[in-house]
Amino acid sequence: MTLKGKTALVTGAGRGMGLAFSRELASRGATVFMCDVDGGTVAAAAAELVEQGLTVAAATVDVSSEADVRTVVARAVRETGRIDIVVSNAGIHPLKGIDEIDVAEWDQVLAVNVRGCFLLCRAVLPHMRSQKYGRIINIASEAGKNGGTICAPHYAASKGAILAFTRNLARAVGADGITVNAIAPGRIATAMAAQVSAEENQVYIDKSSVKRLGDPTDVANAVAFLADEKSGFITGETLNVNGGTLMD
């Protein structure tokens, strides 16, 4: 699979899965705009990929800000003339129970995890429609399907919303040559998994079919598959990448 000549935009790209997505898409030939609210982290990550010969650029973006999202989309189109692939990955996960969550925190999680996805998709659609081509990939979670095992209620709710939004948008834009799919990772070895104890992670591993946590590259390979031109007859789907902890 090659993505040569394609422009991709990845949010939450400074570390973890977002960095893995950026590396994978760029290694397949795409020009990748790496977006993250932490400007220093994403700039350092992008510089590392540039040193490896990959074509990437860093952008400081708060995905819950309409102005930030419109600015980075306009920049990508201005600098490359197109936008082909969007990976909506940015998300936050304060690990709290319902009795510990105030209204402000609930709203913040939904603003980043759900509104950010909406703003990004809405901003890129005019460009993808004019091209009659696009690949939108929304990163959800198995928590959006089963409520999660250790995750907080606002996080689980936000990821369930992403799954419904993905299906709705797929129906709306399919005739324009745009596919919209979601990926529901299980527990991946990132900073989020490190929020819980090794013992908690071992319980998860014991329940999995492949007996390990996921690696960010496992999810990146799924992203690359859905980003490819050859995946054009797949839309409105959620691809589980969880080692067999949830099968549906």
Which of these is catalytic: 33, 118, 133, 155?
155
72 domain-assigned: yes
Q: Is 155 a catalytic residue?
A: yes
Instruction: Give per-residue pLDDT as tens, 226-241.
Output: 999 999 999 999 999 9
182 domain-assigned: yes
Split into its structural domains, the chain has a count of 1
The CATH number assigned to the domain holding 25 equals 3.40.50.720
**Which two three-digit tokens encode residue 6?**
């394609």
141 domain-assigned: yes
Instruction: Give per-residue pLDDT as tens, 65-119.
Output: 999 999 999 999 999 999 999 999 999 998 899 999 999 999 999 999 999 999 9
- pLDDT for the residue numbered 193: 65
Backbone angles phi, psi at 188, to 5 degrees: -110, 145
125 domain-assigned: yes
Q: Name the residue range of residue 175's domain.
A: 7-188+216-240
195 domain-assigned: no
246 domain-assigned: no
Task: Using 70 as the pLDDT threshold, list the residues of the chain that sit under it.
Answer: 1, 193-194
> Do 156 and 147 contact (CB within 8 A), yes or no?
yes
The pTM of this model reads 0.95
